[in-house]
Each structure stands twice: as C-alpha cells, then as structure tokens.
Amino acid sequence: KQDLHNGYPAGKKFIWWGFTSCTTTIDVLQPEKFLGMTGPRTLFIIECFNGKDISKHSCFTSENEILLVAGTEFEVIACLDNGGDYHTIQLKEIPSISPRPPPPPLPIPKPPSLPPPTPPSTPRSGDTQKLIDLILKFKPRTDVYLFGRTLVEK
C-alpha cells in the first residue's frame, strides 16, 4: 500500500513486468492487508484482454482472481485523486510495443560471507590428521568425495 500516482501520468505507456494478481470484485480489497481504508494507497482499475481467470484454481474463489501475465503492456488513461492519500489509476492494455525492450535486471543477492575454516585447536595424529588436512583444502559448503580413502586410524 503506497501512493504511486506520480509515476503514472495520463498517456504514459509502459510494460508491467511482474505476474500480478487482480480481482473483478473490489469489495475484497477493503481489509487493511489489501487496499484498506487508511494511509497512502493506490487502486489500479485495469481493462485487459490477456488476463487469465484463475479463480477456479485459487484457495479464495470469492475473490474472482485474474492473473496478469508478466510483460503486459498498458497505457494510463486517467489518474484520480480521491483525497486522503487515496488515488485511482485507470489502465488499458495495449498491443505489444515493437521492438520490446528487455526487462529490468533483477538484483543479484550477495551470498553471505563465511569465515574461513579454522583448524582444530589440538593437533591430531595419524589418519585423523590426514583427514582434517584433506577437508581443510576444500571451500566451505562444497561436496567432498572421500571414496577409497582410509578415514579412521587403525
């Protein structure tokens, strides 16, 4: 829930890159977890011809759920200030723009950094020390194949 009206002036054409769940029954939007009654919020009224009715496959059949396919193209028809930080944006699906620009890049999450493995605090002898030395040669969280090796002291 947020105020998005500044990003959607009338006449703007754009590609909606995400798969998006919509409804044909606006009364389901009244709870705070959806549109609610307070705070900054924006309601999109969408006229589309490629939306897919998934209500028969939804756990919430009363929501009359329509799925917008990623990459659907729209034009902003109008934007209405309803007062109280509540805005309505009217969209109409348009035929594909050609050539189509690539989707925006997705952020690549940085894997958490792990500290290097620490050798055991007390030295070991024999095959156990050889096994520890072998394991320490591998990076953390990698597969180590020990087939055919003696793993215990005799």
- Residue 151 has what pLDDT? 62
Residue 30 lies in a domain: yes
Domain end point (choices 76, 93, 110): 93
Give the model's pLDDT for residue 78.
Answer: 93
- Report the CATH number at residue 32: 3.90.176.10
Say what the pTM is: 0.58
Burial 91-126 (b: 16+ CB within 10 A, else e): bebeeeeeeeeeeeeeeeeeeeeeeeeeeeeeeeee
- 137 domain-assigned: yes
79 and 125 share a domain? no
Average pLDDT of the chain, as a whole number: 77
Domain final residue pick, 93, 111, 141: 93
Look at residue 142 and tell me if it is in a domain: yes
Give residue-wise pLDDT tens across range 81-136. Answer: 888 788 889 999 998 766 666 667 777 777 777 666 666 555 456 667 777 777 77
Mean pLDDT value of segment 21-33? 75
The residue whose two tokens read 């890049």 is 105
Lowest mean pLDDT segment, chosen from 17-21, 22-26, 80-84, 126-130: 126-130
Query: For position 5, what pLDDT does the model report?
Result: 73
Say whether both 12 and 66 belong to one domain. yes
Note whether 137 and 71 are same-domain residues. Answer: no
Per the structure, the complete domain to which residue 26 belongs is given by 5-93
Confidence of residue 19 (pLDDT cuts 50, 70, 90): confident
Report the alpha-carbon distance of residue 33 to residue 131 in Å, rounded.
55
- What is the count of structural domains for the chain? 2
Is the pLDDT confidence value at 42 over 70?
A: yes
Kindly state the average pLDDT of the residues 41-50. Answer: 87
130 plus 78 within the same structural domain: no
Question: Quick one: 84 and 153 in the same domain?
Answer: no
Whether 28 is in a domain gets the answer: yes
Do 26 and 88 lie in one domain? The reply is yes
The answer to whether position 130 is within a domain reads: yes
